[in-house]
Structure 1
């Protein structure tokens, strides 16, 4: 079997099954990145480059569309927190820098009381960068198991994250309180349309179950770098839709487990590497 083709950012190029004029979708080669030693990156230079990425976004119609869509969903409600999982190596990867730039722009617009970030592959110096940018770094790998606030909307940002992480997040918040979630991640519609329903039902059942009750805003991929926000949508769950669901729908089982996947970094994997 030939080795996967990697680009300069350490991302695996994956050709879409659909016939499309767009560039191939990129997914993080997390097994490769995860095995790297902790690198001593230049903190100040990294921050300058991130602010350059912020300037790129502020001049773009893409950010304008994102903010307009989020504001339309929220109406008069105020975001109380932003949770971001899976940014990747912000010190090395251009895609990660721009995804972080979107997070910073959303923070500046929404003005939440806190912004939490986590990725099990962050270098120590990358954590230092994030803290200097005013973000709170969560060190524990809860595998997407963050429970959102019930005091107001939480914006959950999972940029190009594995579907298992999104599935775990939904499992952790399974219930009517999903009305307090604005979820920015890979498109549910795209996932459902492009993968066999039987496999999805077995591997990510909570995405499959909530999909019919989800409102999705598809974002036009018009940023100047088309491989950064491709396949990204905004998902939300209206109170009206959720209240129409029968109560037994919300019964959930044990925490999901996954087999034969390299894209999803579990807490056990981290623990084994730290022994």
Structure 2
């Protein structure tokens, strides 16, 4: 099956769905081993058709949101935070990590999970602004696909107008990286990161993944001090992949960007042998 899900257009709003699988507060989910079923089989089983619940369109509301995004992008583009991040990406060590993931491919697709409501809150707008600016800056970043079950029809329309594709399938965070893919996931639930790793629990797939999201180092430290079984269960693959992870923390530089990006890191994975990856139930 194809690595990416069908994208959503305004004409095919015929489905409904939510993201209950990846939210810890909805209850502990039974986990299955990838040694029993392939990532592709699990991904196909877990996918759910999705579209915004509200189908109303409002031109004024759409215009106001587009203006908010444009203001946010301008703020981001001129910020010390953004220029510090660009400098970090272009350091030899991190640039080599991106180059290794790209391999012989010319483009690295970007998938944004869990962006939240870009209409209601500034942190999601800052996160989206950064993703779009990175694509514009680096020619090797390809198309951007976006999914969050909270997105409204208006938000989907604005995302499409900005050149993004909104998925019509809830992948539960379980996209198999059959080709180089940047997963842009700042401040997602730990179980969503774990789902992503679980779907790519193999040498070839993990070597295709770049993850921008919450620090795995912080997760490891938090789990070591916690007796919360739900936290341990939702971070099994995060902890297991740590020994094969290169993590680079980003600097928020100023308070303006702390809420949107604090404890965020770039993560690159480089297991060599399938036998190095632990069997996880």
Across the aligned residues of Structure 1 and Structure 2, the Cα RMSD in angstroms comes to 2.6
State how 1:1-275 maps to structure 2 within 5 Å. Answer: 38=54, 42-71=61-90, 72=95, 73-75=97-99, 77=102, 78-111=106-139, 112-150=141-179, 153-176=180-203, 177-196=205-224, 199=229, 200-225=231-256, 226-238=258-270, 242-243=271-272, 245=273, 247=275, 249=277, 251=279, 253=281
TM-score computed with the length of structure 1 as normaliser:
0.70
For structure 2, the residue ranges without an aligned partner over 5 or more in a row are: 1-22, 27-51
**Structure 1 residues 37 and 246: CA distance shift in structure 2, 3 A:** closer
**Structure 1 residues 159 and 40: CA distance shift in structure 2, 3 A:** farther
Measured after TM superposition, the shift of residue 113 of structure 1 is: 3.3
Measured after TM superposition, the shift of residue 37 of structure 1 is: 7.6
Measured after TM superposition, the shift of residue 69 of structure 1 is: 3.3
Measured after TM superposition, the shift of residue 75 of structure 1 is: 3.9
For structure 1, the residue ranges without an aligned partner over 5 or more in a row are: 1-27, 254-275
Q: Aligned equivalents of 1:223 and 1:43: distance in 2?
A: 30
**Structure 1 residues 167 and 122: CA distance shift in structure 2, 3 A:** same
> Deviations for 1:206-263, whole angstroms, at most 9, x for unmatched residues?
111001211100111214412111111111113xxx11x452626555xxxxxxxxxx
Instruction: Select the structure with the greater relative contact order (CA < 8 A; seq sep ≥ 6).
Output: 2
Kindly tell me the number of residue pairs found equivalent between the two proteins. 215
CA contact (8 A) 2:135 2:142 kept: no
> Deviations for 1:123-154, whole angstroms, at most 9, x for unmatched residues?
1111011001010000221210111233xx31
CA contact (8 A) 2:111 2:144 kept: yes
**Structure 1 residues 164 and 53: CA distance shift in structure 2, 3 A:** same
> Deviations for 1:15-47, whole angstroms, at most 9, x for unmatched residues?
xxxxxxxxxxxxx9x99xxxx984866111111
